[in-house]
């Protein structure tokens, strides 16, 4: 019997979380086939009696329906838990929630509580822990990245203030971390190894940050100042250009290209539409002007951070490689949309937004720095996000100081396009091969491959050499698999 996690095919959000966390899972078309799989841990949001042999994750509403109990939907706002085992957690969850409908057994416990917008606790809305059962106060199958959005509060720990920006109605990053801990707990209870996929990623081996510039409008001064910041710090910023304005300044675009800046698309008109056709026309027009400058962008971000089905379908039709919208997700690991476009969530606080909510200049740059450091602790790339006109152009010395400080503290820089490429490669990095005694399709700077003859391959890391006596034409995947446990700590395998 394997130890994979079983989920329903329709639970796309959960599948995204499991992929972010590198869990190995299997999908099933129905609850019947899911339970018949004999997998040790399963997630099922359909009514059940909770008497299966597996460790079951479900929700309070499903338990109530199985016992024909009426369970009224309530409006939650955030979930809070202070627990010895799972720590202190508090995060936005502005979605319907449900009470646990059954009298607790002596061995059962409810941990945490959902609170409403008036900061009042909703009775019996904690997470149920039973012998081989965890029941949540909300329904995972009803969650879909990019669909539930609002103008919502974000808390800055450094400034101890909130700011408001568009974003998902759920703090998906915090929920991901909670689900990861709950799954670990389940496998610990079963005394089984956690089914983590063996992947290699430089994103987890080092600490990274990036600078994203949403270039709404264009002036000569703001462009020159931001370019000077990039050159002074040795960084290739990623610029998303609003082409309705930038088409008038081809010399400035050429200057950015000459300075090795990463140029991508921010549409033509600075608008996001509901209609796929209108979004497609807007994007195609922007692409036309970029291509006149010999730039072929693979990334796009929507104006105002909106994420609509029409926008998603349009960028999919154009075969864009990645996108990044506040309304889809923030402060989280990348994930793929239903249209297979990679989404790169960012920290959505910017100078203008933070100033609007009373942040001082010192508090703004402290928030930027904290967001990058928190991202590194979570295995993410930290994103510094802002705009040139009237914003970044006023703070060149502050941006240079922040970037240099991060670099001196061991952070390395990636532009957005490099970030997207590394994330996409994290599952395929073992698929490199040997051709004519040369390594193909592998980008690991810290490892050298040496071939003394056709029958011996050496993998060298600094002063450590691992020797494998196999034919040189054997796929490199074999070699890496054979020694992965020896070099895992070097490559950051998760």
**Residue of 466, 470, 486 lying closest to 478 (CA atoms):** 470
Gyration radius (Cα) of the chain, Å: 25
The two three-digit tokens of residue 476, written as one number:
């490199």
- Strands 25-28, 41-43: pairing is unpaired
If you search the block for the tokens 């990348």, which residue do you land on? 334
CA atoms of 450 and 445, how far apart (whole Å): 14
From residue 112, give the alpha-carbon distance in Å to each of 102, 157, 201, 212.
17, 22, 34, 37
Question: Which backbone phi and psi does 74 adopt, to 5 degrees?
Answer: -125, 160
**Residue of 447, 493, 448, 453 lying closest to 473 (CA atoms):** 453
Determine the pLDDT at residue 201.
59
Number of C-beta neighbours around residue 186 at 10 A: 22
User: What ranges do the domains of the chain cover?
Assistant: 5-72+97-143+173-190, 202-425, 429-491
Q: Return the exposure string of 290-311: e unless at least 16 CB atoms fall within 10 Å of the residue's CB, then b.
A: beebebebebbbbbebbbbbeb
Determine the pLDDT at residue 431.
35
126: Cα within 13 Å, side-chain hemisphere: 15
- Strands 342-343, 322-323: pairing is parallel
If you search the block for the tokens 């290699």, which residue do you land on? 200
Direct distance between the N- and C-terminal alpha carbons of the chain, in angstroms, rounded to an integer: 23
The two three-digit tokens of residue 463, written as one number:
């002063």
From residue 228, give the alpha-carbon distance in Å to each of 9, 240, 387.
49, 17, 15
CA atoms of 328 and 336, how far apart (whole Å): 11
CA atoms of 241 and 236, how far apart (whole Å): 15
The two three-digit tokens of residue 286, written as one number:
């922007």
Q: Return the exposure string of 342-369: e unless at least 16 CB atoms fall within 10 Å of the residue's CB, then b.
A: bbbbbbbbbbebbeebebeeebbbbbbb
List, in order, residues 6 or more apart from 364 with CB less than 8 Å away: 349, 351, 354, 355
- 207-240 pLDDT tens trace: 999 999 999 999 999 999 999 999 999 999 999 9
CA atoms of 460 and 446, how far apart (whole Å): 9
CATH number of 202-425: 3.20.20.370
pLDDT, averaged per 10 consecutive residues of the chain (494 residues), comes to 90 95 94 93 82 88 89 92 91 95 88 96 95 95 87 95 94 96 95 79 79 95 97 98 95 96 95 94 96 95 88 94 93 91 94 97 98 94 95 97 98 94 66 38 38 39 38 39 35 31
Provide the angle, in degrees to the nearest 10, between the axes of the packed helices 396-408 and 220-233. Answer: 20
- Strands 127-130, 109-111: pairing is antiparallel
């Amino acid at each position: 019997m394997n130890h994979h996690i079983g989920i329903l095919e329709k639970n796309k959000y959960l599948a995204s979380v499991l992929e972010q966390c590198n869990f190995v899972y299997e999908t099933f078309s129905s609850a019947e086939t899911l339970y018949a799989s004999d997998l040790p841990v399963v997630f099922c949001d359909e009514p059940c009696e909770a008497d299966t042999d597996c460790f079951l994750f479900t929700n309070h509403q499903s338990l109530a329906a199985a016992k024909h109990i009426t369970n009224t939907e309530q409006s939650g706002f955030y979930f809070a838990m202070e627990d010895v085992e799972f720590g202190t957690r508090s995060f936005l969850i502005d979605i319907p929630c449900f009470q646990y409908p059954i009298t607790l057994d002596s061995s059962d416990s409810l941990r945490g509580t959902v609170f409403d917008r008036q900061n009042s606790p909703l009775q019996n809305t904690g997470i149920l822990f039973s012998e081989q059962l965890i029941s949540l106060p909300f329904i995972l199958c009803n969650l879909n990245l990019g669909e539930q959005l609002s103008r919502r509060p974000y808390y800055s720990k450094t400034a101890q203030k909130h700011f408001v920006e568009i974003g998902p109605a759920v703090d998906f990053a915090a929920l991901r971390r909670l689900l990861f801990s709950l799954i670990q707990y389940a496998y610990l209870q079963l005394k089984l190894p956690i089914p983590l996929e063996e992947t290699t990623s430089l994103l987890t081996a080092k600490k990274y940050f990036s600078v994203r510039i949403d270039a709404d409008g264009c002036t000569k001064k703001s462009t020159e100042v931001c370019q000077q910041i990039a050159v002074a710090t040795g960084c290739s910023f990623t610029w998303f250009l609003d082409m309705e304005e930038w088409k008038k300044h081809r010399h400035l675009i050429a200057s950015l290209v000459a300075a090795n800046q990463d140029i991508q698309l921010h549409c033509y008109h600075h608008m996001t539409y509901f209609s796929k056709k209108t979004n497609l026309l807007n994007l195609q027009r922007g692409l036309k002007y970029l291509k006149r400058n010999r730039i072929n962008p693979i990334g796009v971000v929507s104006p105002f951070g909106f994420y609509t089905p029409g926008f998603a379908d349009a960028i999919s039709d154009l075969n864009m490689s990645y996108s990044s919208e506040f309304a889809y997700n923030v402060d989280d690991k990348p994930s793929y949309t239903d249209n297979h476009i990679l989404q790169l969530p960012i920290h959505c606080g910017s100078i203008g937004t933070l100033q609007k909510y009373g942040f001082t200049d010192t508090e703004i740059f402290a928030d930027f720095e904290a967001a990058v450091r928190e991202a590194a602790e979570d295995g993410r790339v930290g994103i510094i996000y802002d705009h040139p006109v009237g914003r970044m152009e006023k703070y060149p010395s502050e941006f240079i100081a922040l970037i240099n400080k991060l670099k001196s503290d061991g952070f390395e820089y990636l532009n957005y396009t490099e970030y997207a490429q590394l994330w996409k490669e994290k599952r395929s990095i073992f698929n490199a091969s040997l051709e004519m005694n040369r390594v193909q399709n592998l980008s690991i700077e810290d490892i050298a491959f040496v071939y003394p003859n056709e029958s011996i391959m050496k993998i060298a890391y600094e002063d450590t050499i691992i020797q494998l006596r196999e034919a040189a034409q054997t796929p490199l995947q074999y070699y890496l698999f054979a020694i992965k446990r020896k070099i895992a700590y070097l490559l950051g395998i998760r």
